[in-house]
Amino acid sequence: MIVLPFPLVATISLALTLAVASSDSLFRPDAWYERLRKPRLMPPGWVFPVVWTVLYVLMALAAAEIFVHYDAPLRPWALTLYALQLIANALWSWLFFKLHRPLWALWDLILLWLLVLACILVFAAIATPAALLLLPYGFWLLIALYLNAATWVLNRKERR
């Protein structure tokens, strides 16, 4: 078995995670989004890229920590859950900003939160620090759930 050093694994993990994260830049807020009624607790627009950058770095470090535990029986499950949550994460931007479907995006966000919760639990069984690195992500997703749900409720009678 080839054993890769943690710095290399962390670098590769960060690159892959940021590649998925860059999908957000493909679907940016547009005139449709600007017209939406937003919840009172909606943060200013600059908050999102700052928070997501920090979260993506933490996610990549967590995945790298799991990746180097070659003998952990749950490692394949952990990495599969991680990949699935990255897909659900990328899907949200497409559903919300490209298709203009806040309700579909909300369902995706619920799935994403459940996948991240599962990741945290499985990561904890392998390496507690990796699970702890995902806690801010899980917390932010709860905020995102509120923002998405409130935006949908405030605008549900309107169609594109």
| Residue 97 contacts residue 29 (beta carbons within 8 Å) | yes
Mean pLDDT, residues 34-45: 95
* Model confidence, pTM: 0.84
Give 27's pLDDT tier (boundaries 50, 70, 90): low
User: Which residue in 92, 103, 110 sits closest to 26, CA to CA?
Assistant: 92
More confident residue, 9 or 68: 68
Any idea where the domains of the chain sit in the sequence? 6-155
Mean pLDDT, residues 100-119: 98
- What angle (nearest 5°) sits at the alpha carbon of residue 10, between those of residues 3 and 115? 105
The mean predicted confidence, pLDDT, of the chain is 88
Concatenating the DSSP letter of every residue in the chain gives -----HHHHHHHHHHHHHHHHTHHHHS---HHHHHS---TTPPPTTHHHHHHHHHHHHHHHHHHHHHT-TT-TTHHHHHHHHHHHHHHHHHHHIIIIIS--HHHHHHHHHHHHHHHHHHHHHHHHH-HHHHHHHHHHHHHHHHHHHHHHHHHHHHTT---
Mean pLDDT, residues 26-50: 87
Separation between Cα atoms, residue 145 and residue 160, nearest integer Å: 21
With 90 as the cut, is the pLDDT of residue 125 above it?
A: yes
- State which fold the 6-155 domain adopts: Ferritin (1.20.1260)
Name the range with the highest mean pLDDT among 55-59, 90-94, 112-116.
Answer: 112-116
Give 43's pLDDT tier (boundaries 50, 70, 90): very high
Instruction: Collect all residues with Cβ–Cβ distance below 8 Å to 49 and sequence separation of at least 6.
Output: none
Angle between helix axes 128-155 and 102-126 (nearest 10 degrees) is 170
* Single-letter code of the amino acid located at 145: L
